[in-house]
């Protein structure tokens, strides 16, 4: 039976496709390519020997979803399609609610109409907001402070209601911490448009010489070296977490689980690891704190180990090695065909 991967042409989705195909599963990508490049399909074929089926469509289009789910004989969906920039979500909240919340609603309706029951959903640690206590456990209160975070929280609630409806869905909600790195081949990776907002792709662009300097937003946080701490998780480990979730999604109605390593890493520690992995100097400058940033957050990885039997295997050195491998082989991302 086939797994539909909405947003499967994107950074995380492409890595999930590879892991699923290599595990012998059939996949169909459903993506409107608003933030990805069709070349990724060719790259997935080069890694796995199999080109995934792909449908160009929008997750707000119920009819297109029904056709694709039926035509490909799908039994499950991994739902990644969505918009993900915190800053853009502040400027354009309507677009974010439409794509991320309405898109999830339309997908649920299409699944109910086609009898596809299982859904694994890409949520984010941003749903927690400012931590009361670390590490963040799944039962921590939810208080996101951006429109983006609120769209994820609402989509979680919507799916929870669908799980208890007359035509119930089996739901696994995965709260990602900070996915970085890429497939070790260097054939697929993170390819943001313009100047990257996130730390790892920004460091990569500085290392390759496309950006002059890394601005470090804040060195006066109450952390070991004053810079922000996050739980970086290798995207290939993250992809494996989705396979584990697919395998147990029908065992309980709603599963909510963190995907993180349980380890915090500061900005300066990540820069240091990247310098060692790449052999490149990364010029830095300290800048004021970024609005809305939290000093420190990292996951409790216990529930993922208990219910999914999943834990991250790759450390910061591998994350930096693979991010650099992708960057140096594809200085212009997927435009380097
Ligand atoms: P990405 O932008 O690389 O991938 C998202 C994909 O969805 C893209 O291929 C895009 O073209 C597609 N898409 C967007 N809107 C669509 C629509 N209306 N219809 C069909 N396709 C659409 O992002 P990513 O980093 O791979 O993230 C995937 C998911 O994981 C997103 O839902 C994101 O919010 C979530 N997430 C990402 C991170 C992160 O740091 N990357 C962290 C937590 C959660
Ligand atoms: N960061 C930084 N410079 C950048 C981008 C990010 O210092 O150019 C810091 C940011 O303040 C945070 C950490 O790096 O402490 C991770 O930021 P990112 O945007 O990657 O993830 P998020 O804050 O969304 O968890």
Residue closest via CA to ligand 1's atom 19 equals: 58
Map 196-212 to HEC letters. CCCHHHHHHHHHCCCCC
Inside any domain, residue 249: yes
Angle at 61 between CA 56 and CA 66, to 5 degrees: 85
User: What distance in angstroms lies between residue 198's CA and the mean position of ligand 2's atoms?
Assistant: 5
What was the pLDDT predicted at 193? 85
Residue 253 near residue 296 (C-beta atoms within 8 A):
no
User: What distance in angstroms lies between residue 202's CA and the mean position of ligand 1's atoms?
Assistant: 18
User: What distance in angstroms lies between residue 12's CA and the mean position of ligand 1's atoms?
Assistant: 7
91 and 225 share one domain: no
The residue assigned the tokens 């529930």 is: 303
Sheet holding 170-176, edge to edge: 53-56, 26-31, 2-6, 74-79, 118-124, 170-176, 254-259
What was the pLDDT predicted at 336? 75
What was the pLDDT predicted at 252? 81
Sign of CA dihedral 197, 201, 203, 209: negative
Q: d(Cα 69, Cα 65) in Å, to the nearest integer?
A: 6
208 and 172 share one domain: no
105 and 207 share one domain: no
Ligand with an atom nearest the CA of residue 176: 1
Is the C-beta atom of 230 inside 6 A of ligand 2?
yes
The minimum-distance atom of ligand 2 relative to the CA of 297 is 25
85 and 219 share one domain: no
Inside any domain, residue 118: yes
Residues paired with residue 257 on neighbouring β-strands, in sequence order: 174
What was the pLDDT predicted at 62? 98
86 and 213 share one domain: no
CB-facing half-sphere around the CA of 203: CA atoms within 13 A: 29
285 and 152 share one domain: no
Q: Write out the chain's pLDDT in tens, 337 residues.
A: 899 999 999 999 999 999 999 999 999 999 999 999 999 999 999 999 999 999 999 999 999 999 999 999 999 999 999 999 999 999 999 999 999 999 999 999 999 999 999 999 999 999 999 999 999 999 999 999 999 999 999 999 999 999 999 999 999 999 999 999 999 999 999 998 888 999 999 999 999 999 999 999 999 999 999 999 999 999 999 999 999 999 999 988 899 999 999 999 999 999 999 999 999 999 999 999 998 899 999 999 999 999 999 999 999 999 999 999 999 999 999 987 6
91 and 153 share one domain: yes
Residue 232 annotated among the catalytic residues of the structure:
no
Is the C-beta atom of 178 inside 6 A of ligand 2?
yes
Pocket-testing residue among 136, 267, 298, ligand 2, by greatest number of atoms within 8 A of Cβ = 267
Q: d(Cα 259, Cα 256) in Å, to the nearest integer?
A: 10
CATH number of the domain at 95, please.
3.40.50.720
CB-facing half-sphere around the CA of 46: CA atoms within 13 A: 12
Inside any domain, residue 291: yes
User: What distance in angstroms lies between residue 120's CA and the mean position of ligand 1's atoms?
Assistant: 14
Residue 31 near residue 13 (C-beta atoms within 8 A):
yes
125 and 102 share one domain: yes
What was the pLDDT predicted at 180? 98
144 and 204 share one domain: no
135 and 225 share one domain: no
Inside any domain, residue 193: no
Angle at 13 between CA 294 and CA 29, to 5 degrees: 145
CATH number of the domain at 223, please.
3.90.25.10
Give the structural domain span for 85: 2-181+232-262
Inside any domain, residue 303: no
- Structural domains counted in the chain: 2
Give residues (CB < 6 A) around ligand 1. Answer: 6-7, 9-13, 31-36, 58-60, 80-84, 99, 103, 122, 124, 176, 178-179
166 and 210 share one domain: no
- Catalytic pick among 96, 97, 128, 148: 148
44 and 117 share one domain: yes
Ligand with an atom nearest the CA of residue 80: 1
Kindly list the distances between the CA atom of residue 21 and the CA atoms of 223, 240, 243, in Å, as whole numbers in the listed order. Answer: 41, 12, 11
Residues paired with residue 265 on neighbouring β-strands, in sequence order: 230
Inside any domain, residue 60: yes
Ligand with an atom nearest the CA of residue 221: 2
pTM over 0.85: yes
Inside any domain, residue 99: yes
Inside any domain, residue 187: no
């Amino acid at each position: 039976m086939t797994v539909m991967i909405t947003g499967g042409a994107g950074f995380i989705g492409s890595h999930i496709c590879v892991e699923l195909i290599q595990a012998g599963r059939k996949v169909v990508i459903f993506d409107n390519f608003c933030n990805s490049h069709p070349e990724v399909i060719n790259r997935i074929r080069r890694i796995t020997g199999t080109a995934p089926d792909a449908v160009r469509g929008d997750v707000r289009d119920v009819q297109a979803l029904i056709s694709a789910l039926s035509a490909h004989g799908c039994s499950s969906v991994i739902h990644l399609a969505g918009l993900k920039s915190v800053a853009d979500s502040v400027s354009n909240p309507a677009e974010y609610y439409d794509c991320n919340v309405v898109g999830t609603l339309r997908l649920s309706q299409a699944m109910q109409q086609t009898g596809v029951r299982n859904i694994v959903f890409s949520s984010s640690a941003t749903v927690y907001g400012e931590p009361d206590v670390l590490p963040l456990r799944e039962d921590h209160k939810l208080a996101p402070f951006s429109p983006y975070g609120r769209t994820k929280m609402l989509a979680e609630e919507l799916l929870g209601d669908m799980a208890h409806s007359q035509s119930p869905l089996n739901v696994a909600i995965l709260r990602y911490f900070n996915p970085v790195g890429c497939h070790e081949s260097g054939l697929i990776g993170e390819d943001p448009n313009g100047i990257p907002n996130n730390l790892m792709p920004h460091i990569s662009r500085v290392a390759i010489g496309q950006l002059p300097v890394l601005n470090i937003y804040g060195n006066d946080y109450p952390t070991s070296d004053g810079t922000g701490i996050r739980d970086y998780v290798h995207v290939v480990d993250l992809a494996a977490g989705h396979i584990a979730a697919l395998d147990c999604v029908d065992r309980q109605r709603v599963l909510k689980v963190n995907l993180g390593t349980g380890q915090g890493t500061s900005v300066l520690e990540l820069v240091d690891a990247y310098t060692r992995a790449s052999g490149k100097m990364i010029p830095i400058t300290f800048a004021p704190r970024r609005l809305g940033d939290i000093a420190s957050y990292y996951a409790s990885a216990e529930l993922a180990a208990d219910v999914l039997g999943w834990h991250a295997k790759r450390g910061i050195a591998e994350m930096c090695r693979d991010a650099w491998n992708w960057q140096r082989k594809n200085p212009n991302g997927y435009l380097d065909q």
